[in-house]
A and B are shown apart, each in its own frame.
Chain A
Amino acid sequence: MTDLDISRAWLVDPAAGREGPGDIVVRDGVLESVVWLEGEDASGVDDRGVIVAPGFVDLHAHFREPGNEDAETIATGMAAAAHGGFTTVCVMPNTAPALDDPAVLARVAAAREASSSPIRVLAFGSVSAGRGGETLAALGELADAGVIGFSDDGSPVTSGPLLRNALAYAGALGLPIVEHPEDAALTAGAEMSDGFVATVLGLRGWPAAAEEAAVARDLALLADVVRDVPAARLHLTHVSTAGALELVRRAKAAGLPVTCDVTPHHLALTDEWVAGSRRWAWEASGNPWDDGAITDAPYSSALRVNPPLRSVADAAACREALLDGTADAVASDHAPHTPVDKDVEFGLAANGISGIETALGVLLAAVDAGLVSLGQAVEALTVGPARVIGSAWGADQQPGLVEGSPADLVVFDRSESWTVTAQTLASKGKNTPLLGRALSGRVLATIAAGRLVYEAGAD
């Protein structure tokens, strides 16, 4: 159990809706005291230095175990989470075998125990048996075994009837369906976002319509199910287009029980990175050939991801959705891959970005640019995801800085940066387009359930 004293830092407590200068004391793993500084004591402390926040919650990560341990294991995934400031991670069931029955869930639990890390690993069960998209998985048994929801992520649930049934069944169990919205017929063979950059690079385009059409269908089905099963809940994950976000906005306004998350890479990177540009979405014009923005070789397979990096307008819509609450959370969609699967031709590379360790740094870049406030960023990584998880969260309260509770914190310094390299990444997955880049907001310490799981060393 850990002891930690931090004084004159900037504390962020999203549960209480409060932030400001303060001191915290952790004794024997318990958050013993949280003191908010006022007046004279508070002067000189601002939100640009050391920040203390509740441990982050990742709604969407892939830890590849069982089945693809070369890419990541539960243990290495948890180490990566800790480095990224996350103390709770929700893993997706697209393992091999898929997480479609309690026996597989038990393997995940066993791996978690064996790592002896206190980081919370929550699991989604799959919607369909074997993620085959045809029949329902053992939803009830999985619920009893402790999954926090159901998803066929990696793939959409293509069958309308199956999704409708799943929404109803899961709703009755009090758990959400997490849907990966994609019209697979429209995205067959697609390599990067449809648009100007794809045309010039000669890559098969991924139309925005494929996401919007899928979201429209999913919302229509939800509206249908809610009439009979008011507890039904839908969470749309990694929404990336302005059109789809607008549909979610209107659905929420109409009172539908839908939530969604956006990824850090969708709000900060754009399709022009595939052409070799490396500027943030809010600095980009959409035409990298015109203004000398191209600094790197094109076709880097680290940029191949599903959903693909989109246009400048779509990235702006993701940020807008965070600000107005349309997006409830930021989730990393951490997708580690081995070099065998990634160091190949762009069109043959596996989809996915290893992002759990860079999520904070990318979000802080948007904060530095004045597009998102620090408080909103922390909310998106803490209370936002916890609300989506809902009752399955298990704790009595939302993530916050509550005296007397087991310490669950992240401490990071906005004035310090760190460089993303294969050595500094704890994940086995080095497939990130941010390799070589310096990100601000270096994590100094992460404490989960009262124990120190990460401390900045000499990296």
Chain B
Amino acid sequence: MSGRHIMTAEEIRRATIRISHEIVEKQAGTSGLALVGIQRRGVPLARRIAASIAENESVDVPVGALDITFYRDDLSLVAQQPVVKGTDLPFDLNGSTIVLVDDVLYTGRTIRAAMDALVDFGRPQAIRLAVLVDRGHRELPIRADHVGKNVPTSREEIVRVHLAEIDDEDAVLIDRVEVREPEAEPVA
């Protein structure tokens, strides 16, 4: 597909490692930590971060997956993206520090929905946010604790993250949005 590369595979790898160090640094260790990837691409990212932490700290931090389909505030998207990819949180959230992981941070609505979902499962002690790309244009007062790359964008652009686990390559691309109906834009 067309689009400019704004992160190469190597840049993604380094950013992921740096984020994993920052997470441990902020927590002053790994105790109480759990990573929760937001479907869909937040999940492999969360796994990679956990793998990096395991390499450096020799600790396996729990990893979960969170699908926010039922927590969106816009039902008109149901027709476009009706089905869920699955929520699996195989650990106790109560008292833990959850680091939400997502590929792109945009308006902040996905993160708001993710927090709504999380609190239905238990009461974490703290929730933090790690994203690969922050493209600005927040509509809610949400900020990421850990950012791979800040990319200023305009609303006519679209940022796509490709991860080998899903897309056969690692890359972050930016492209112009084709003139389409609003519901075609991704929820981010």
A and B directly contacting (CB within 8 A): no
Seen from chain B, the residues whose Cβ lies within 8 Å of a Cβ on chain A are none
